[in-house]
Amino acid sequence: PENRHDRKETERFKSFVYDELMQRDKVSLDIFWLRDESLEESENLPEPDVIAAEITENLEAALEQFASIYEEIAPSEDGATEEYEYVTQTN
């Protein structure tokens, strides 16, 4: 709603009273009431450097694919673009 005071609590929104927040340790706003079940497996995650290496490998592979596509569609040395035949699926 336009008026935040008219907003109703939902699964993803909960209102808190000022005094309740002030009673929290260091007035922390780290409030959780929804649990992500996938986070329960977080102790089985690979180390951050392994995750970063996998992300890097995936990005490098994607970059190679885009470079290949660019080479196919880039203008030739004389400035003309090549024509391509497009295949369409029919039902």
Residue with tokens 């109703």, as numbered in its chain: 8
Provide the pLDDT for residue 22. 81
| Domain range for 31 | 4-35+45-73
- Residue 25 falls inside a structural domain: yes
Residues in the chain: 91
- Residue 15 falls inside a structural domain: yes
Asked whether the beta carbons of 34 and 12 are under 8 A apart, the reply is yes
Measured in degrees and rounded to the nearest 5, phi and psi for residue 33 equal -135, -10
In the 3-class helix/strand/coil scheme, how is 28-48 assigned residue by residue? Answer: CCCCCCCCCHHHHHHHHCCCH
- Residue 82 falls inside a structural domain: no
pLDDT-based confidence at residue 89 (cuts at 50, 70, 90) = very low
pLDDT-based confidence at residue 5 (cuts at 50, 70, 90) = confident
- Residue 60 falls inside a structural domain: yes
pLDDT higher at 88 or 20: 20
Write out pLDDT tens, residues 23-78: 877 777 666 666 666 666 677 788 889 999 999 999 999 999 999 999 889 887 76
Asked whether the beta carbons of 27 and 21 are under 8 A apart, the reply is yes
Asked whether the beta carbons of 61 and 38 are under 8 A apart, the reply is no
- Residue 19 falls inside a structural domain: yes
CA 23 to chain centre: 34
- Residue 18 falls inside a structural domain: yes
Q: Is the pLDDT of residue 80 over 70?
A: no
Domain count, the chain: 1
Provide the pLDDT for residue 8. 84
Q: Is the pLDDT of residue 90 over 70?
A: no
- Residue 89 falls inside a structural domain: no
- Residue 17 falls inside a structural domain: yes
